[in-house]
């Protein structure tokens, strides 16, 4: 809108009302002067040709604007040139035609202010001198004085008339252009506000909405106009204690800027969203009190809040999980010190206490390892290195690493890999970490029998890797809990082994990152099969952007 106003001014040419009559009058005057033998020209053709070209020029204004070169400077220059030629070559010195320069001065002043006036006046002076020199080769003092006199009269008269007529017009043009600029600024700000992700609502002093942006409509889930609606009817807010908030009361207390992050807004009977609200006062001193008001900037921080809550919960759970082994090992160590201080220390008891303390320290080490794996999973997602590798190569590596552990427990440790299983393109690091968690659990929770690593193709795009054990198994009712953080079965055998309850939680996160999913089949006391189905090409179907976006959120789900 603002841009089109600017170009409208640029396109504007000399107004038809001004040009057509003045040029026709000028041409008629020229012919009349000739008729009354006042022009003293020696050539009728010259007079007619000049009048005709002048009239034609003015008639051009009647043609549709788009057919013409639309520049008033071109027209104004054309008129100057025609009149200059007439004055030099047709009319004699001191002819009355010279006063026809006055409208040109007038128009130059109108469009180009003083600059235009002086340009036109300078040209007039040059034309007068040239015509004098052309028509009177001998220097004539009187002729020169007459020229100067005429020049001064024409210019002064035009200047005075122009000032009287347009004096305030140039002021108005200045104001107009300032208005256009302000309008442009206003539009620019509006489009800026409209592209903002945060909701912006402006009100007057009484709280009636005067402006809002698209994000405000989104937040309020409406497409009705909000103009003139009281903001308190539109935004029904409550504080952290569920007490209703009087928004205008809060706003009226605002000196400069007030920010609240403890505010929620109901979006349905059961759902609330958390808002971060900044209120600022619009009160420049030059505005009248009824023009003053407030702006409200609203940001939906529900996700951030719930993430923060999840994180706080996670930290408190982690510190609880850490505190327990620290307390136990501290107790065991104190006991060992106490026993050692006895006159006849019981070495076996001391050893037992130290062993228990050592177990707790090992547990703490495991916990720290798991936590760092978790944070690594979170950090490394961005630059996760996706490579192509043979599944059999990784299985061979894992076999070599874990066979001693399995054999030490008297378990068999085998593989069952479908021939021609395809190479996969994914994060080798995450893939190995997932398989390691399955295998270490299988060995840990199996007393008799053994463990099999199975790899098979599901279809052209997916492979399935399973770790099958003949161990403790997991009750059906507990199977959906295994991926929860810190969950460990109550089974006495499980409890007799050390574990953090974080391994499968991390595994589930990593599987999700790779675009895969986990499956569990288990029967108590018979054994478990933990499987992961993975796309052969990680991220072919998965949108990396949304994975990255949800990564933090997913970590704590």
Q: Which residues bind ligand ADP (CB under 6 A)?
A: 437, 441-442, 445, 469, 471-474, 482, 487-489, 494, 499-505, 528
| CB-CB contact of 418 with 505 (8 Å) | no
Q: Which is nearer to ligand ADP, 130 or 494 (CB)?
A: 494
DSSP reduced 3-state for 54: helix
Least separation in angstroms between residue 501's CB and ligand ADP is 5
| CB-CB contact of 104 with 121 (8 Å) | no
Distance CA 369, CA 376 (A): 10
- CA separation, residue 462 to residues 425, 457, 498, 517, 533 (Å): 11, 6, 34, 11, 7
Q: Which is nearer to ligand ADP, 100 or 468 (CB)?
A: 468
Q: Which is nearer to ligand ADP, 336 or 439 (CB)?
A: 439
Indicate the pairing of strand 517-523 with strand 527-535: antiparallel
Least separation in angstroms between residue 409's CB and ligand ADP is 13
Indicate the pairing of strand 244-245 with strand 257-266: unpaired
23's enclosing H/E stretch is helix 16-35
DSSP reduced 3-state for 276: strand
Least separation in angstroms between residue 506's CB and ligand ADP is 8
Q: Which is nearer to ligand ADP, 70 or 480 (CB)?
A: 480
Q: Which is nearer to ligand ADP, 222 or 375 (CB)?
A: 375
| CB-CB contact of 255 with 281 (8 Å) | yes
What is the per-residue burial (b if ≥16 Cβ within 10 Å, else e) of 383-411? ebeeeeeebeebbeebeeebbeebeeeeb
DSSP reduced 3-state for 465: strand
Q: Which is nearer to ligand ADP, 245 or 435 (CB)?
A: 435
Q: List the structure tokens of 376.
A: 């690594």
Least separation in angstroms between residue 522's CB and ligand ADP is 7
Least separation in angstroms between residue 544's CB and ligand ADP is 27
Q: How far apart are the first and last CA of the chain?
A: 49
Least separation in angstroms between residue 345's CB and ligand ADP is 35
Distance CA 369, CA 53 (A): 96
Least separation in angstroms between residue 367's CB and ligand ADP is 9
- CA separation, residue 116 to residues 105, 169, 177 (Å): 8, 15, 18
Q: List the structure tokens of 74.
A: 């071109």
Least separation in angstroms between residue 314's CB and ligand ADP is 15
Q: Which residue is nearest to ligand ADP (CB)?
A: 499
Distance CA 369, CA 381 (A): 18
Q: Which is nearer to ligand ADP, 297 or 364 (CB)?
A: 364
Identify the burial level of 48 via C-beta atoms within 10 angstroms of its C-beta, where 0-12 means exposed, 13-18 middle and 19 or more buried: middle
DSSP structure class, residue 205? T
Q: Which is nearer to ligand ADP, 381 or 522 (CB)?
A: 522
Q: Which is nearer to ligand ADP, 54 or 445 (CB)?
A: 445
Distance CA 204, CA 210 (A): 7
Least separation in angstroms between residue 486's CB and ligand ADP is 8
DSSP reduced 3-state for 472: coil
Q: Which is nearer to ligand ADP, 450 or 471 (CB)?
A: 471
Least separation in angstroms between residue 331's CB and ligand ADP is 22
Least separation in angstroms between residue 361's CB and ligand ADP is 16
Q: Which is nearer to ligand ADP, 200 or 504 (CB)?
A: 504
212's enclosing H/E stretch is strand 209-212
């Amino acid at each position: 809108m603002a841009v089109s106003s600017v170009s409208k001014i640029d396109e504007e040419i000399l107004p038809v009302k001004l040009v057509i009559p003045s040029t026709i009058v000028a041409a008629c005057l020229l012919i009349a002067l000739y008729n009354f033998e006042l022009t003293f020209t020696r050539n009728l053709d010259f007079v007619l040709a000049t009048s005709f070209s002048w009239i034609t020029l003015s008639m051009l204004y009647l043609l549709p604007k788009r057919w013409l070169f639309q520049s008033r400077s071109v027209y104004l220059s054309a008129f100057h040139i025609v009149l200059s030629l007439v004055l030099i070559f047709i009319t004699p010195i001191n002819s009355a035609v010279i006063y026809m320069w006055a409208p040109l001065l007038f128009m130059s002043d109108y469009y180009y202010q003083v600059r235009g006036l002086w340009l036109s006046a300078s040209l007039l002076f040059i034309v007068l001198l040239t015509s004098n020199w052309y028509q009177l080769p001998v220097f004539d003092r009187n002729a020169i004085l007459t020229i100067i006199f005429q020049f001064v009269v024409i210019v002064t008269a035009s200047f005075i008339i122009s000032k009287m007529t347009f004096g305030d017009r140039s002021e108005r043009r200045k104001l107009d252009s300032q208005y256009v600029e302000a309008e442009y600024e206003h539009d620019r700000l509006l489009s800026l506000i409209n592209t903002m992700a945060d909701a912006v609502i402006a009100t007057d002093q009484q709280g009636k909405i005067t402006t809002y942006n698209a994000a405000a409509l989104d937040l309020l889930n409406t497409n009705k106009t909000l103009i003139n609606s009281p903001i308190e009817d539109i935004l029904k807010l409550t504080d952290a204690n569920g007490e209703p908030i009087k928004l205008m009361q809060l706003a009226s207390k605002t000196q400069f800027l007030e920010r609240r992050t403890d505010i929620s807004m109901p979006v349905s009977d059961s759902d609330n969203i958390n808002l971060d609200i900044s209120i600022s006062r619009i009160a420049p001193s030059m505005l009248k009190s009824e023009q003053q008001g407030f702006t409200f900037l609203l940001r939906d921080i529900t996700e951030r809040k719930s993430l923060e809550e999840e994180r706080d919960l996670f930290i408190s759970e982690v510190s609880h999980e850490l505190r327990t082994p620290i307390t136990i090992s501290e107790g065991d160590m104190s006991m060992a010190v106490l026993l050692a201080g006895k006159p006849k220390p019981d070495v076996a008891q001391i050893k037992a206490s130290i062993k228990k303390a050592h177990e707790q320290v090992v547990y703490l080490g495991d916990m720290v390892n798991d936590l760092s794996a978790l944070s690594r999973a979170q950090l490394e997602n961005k630059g996760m290195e996706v490579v192509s590798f043979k599944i059999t190569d990784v299985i061979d590596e894992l076999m070599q690493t874990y066979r001693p552990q399995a054999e030490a427990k008297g378990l068999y440790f085998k593989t069952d890999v479908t021939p021609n299983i395809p190479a996969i393109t994914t994060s080798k690091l995450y893939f190995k970490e997932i398989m390691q968690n399955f295998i270490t659990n299988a060995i840990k929770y199996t007393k008799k029998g053994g463990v099999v690593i199975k790899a098979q193709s599901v279809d052209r795009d997916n492979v399935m890797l399973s770790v099958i054990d003949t161990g403790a198994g997991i009750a059906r009712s507990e199977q959906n809990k295994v991926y929860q953080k810190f969950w460990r079965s109550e089974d006495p055998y499980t409890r007799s082994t050390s574990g953090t309850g974080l391994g499968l939680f991390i595994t589930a996160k990593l599987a999700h990152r790779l675009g895969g999913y986990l499956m569990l089949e288990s029967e108590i006391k018979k054994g478990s099969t933990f499987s992961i189905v993975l796309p052969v090409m990680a991220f072919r179907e998965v949108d990396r952007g949304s994975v990255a976006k949800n990564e933090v959120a997913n970590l704590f789900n």
